[in-house]
Each structure stands twice: as C-alpha cells, then as structure tokens.
Amino acid sequence: SYVLTQPPSVSVAPGQTARIACGGISFGTKSVHWYQQKSGQAPVLVVYDVSDRPSGIPERFSGSNSGNTAALTISRVEAGDEADYYCQVWDDSSDHPVFGGGTKLTVL
C-alpha cells in the first residue's frame, strides 16, 4: 500500500511563499487532496483534485503534481496560515484513502 511522505516542518516569513511537498509514489495524473488543520481543530479541505479549491478557500492556496512529488503552495503567507497540512490520495493497491504524515507550517 502507499506511504506518503511529507517534511515534518516548513518555516516561512509572512508575505513569502510556502511550498509543502508530498512524495512516496508516482503522482503522474493522480488526484491529490490537501487539508489544513489548525491546533485543536478538525481538518479543513483546502485543495482537492490536485488544484481545485473549495468555496471560501483563498486563491493563495494552490496545488500541483509533477512526477514523484505533489505540492501545496501558499502565496503571501499570513500568520493565520500556521497549521498542520496533510496530503491525501486514493491507494489503488489496497483500495482506500491514505494520508501523508503531515507538515507543520510555522510562520516566523
């Protein structure tokens, strides 16, 4: 079954761009979904199907796939973006959704 790998932490200054990577499989055209989880709260979907955003999610959040890496990019980072971020895909080999281990985004 799939094992998705994410860096444990990413730090960025306010106003800069944060890139959170997700690896471990060949993403190709595979759909990837991303969640934001602030401390003590439930996860919130921020990007689905690689690059689509749910209603209410700022355009600053974008997603991409390239080869063996998927990425969530947050432009013009704000203090309120500080959270854990998880990638998720459908595991074809074992027929269920799987999550990456999560990346803690710190806004300096």
Partner 1 sequence: QLQLQESGPGLVKPSETLSLTCSVSGGSISTYSFYWGWLRQPPGKGLEWIGSIYYSGNTYYNPSLKSRVTISVDTSKNQFSLNMNSMTAADTAMYFCARHGAGWPRERFWYFDLWGLGTLVTVSS
Write out the two tokens for 27. 């993403």
Residue 64 burial by Cβ neighbours in a 10 Å radius (0-12, 13-18, 19+): middle
- Give, in degrees to the nearest 5, the angle at Cα 67 between 64 and 72: 25
> Please, which residue, 14 or 54, has the CB nearer to partner 1?
54
Residue 54 as a binder of partner 1 (CB under 8 A): the answer is yes
Determine the interface stretch with partner 1 among 15-23, 61-69, 70-78, 93-101 (rule: CB under 8 A): 93-101
> Please, which residue, 30 or 60, has the CB nearer to partner 1?
30
Residue 42 as a binder of partner 1 (CB under 8 A): the answer is yes
Q: Given the rule CB under 8 A, which residues bind partner 1?
A: 1, 30-31, 33, 35, 41-45, 48-49, 54, 86, 88-90, 92, 94-102
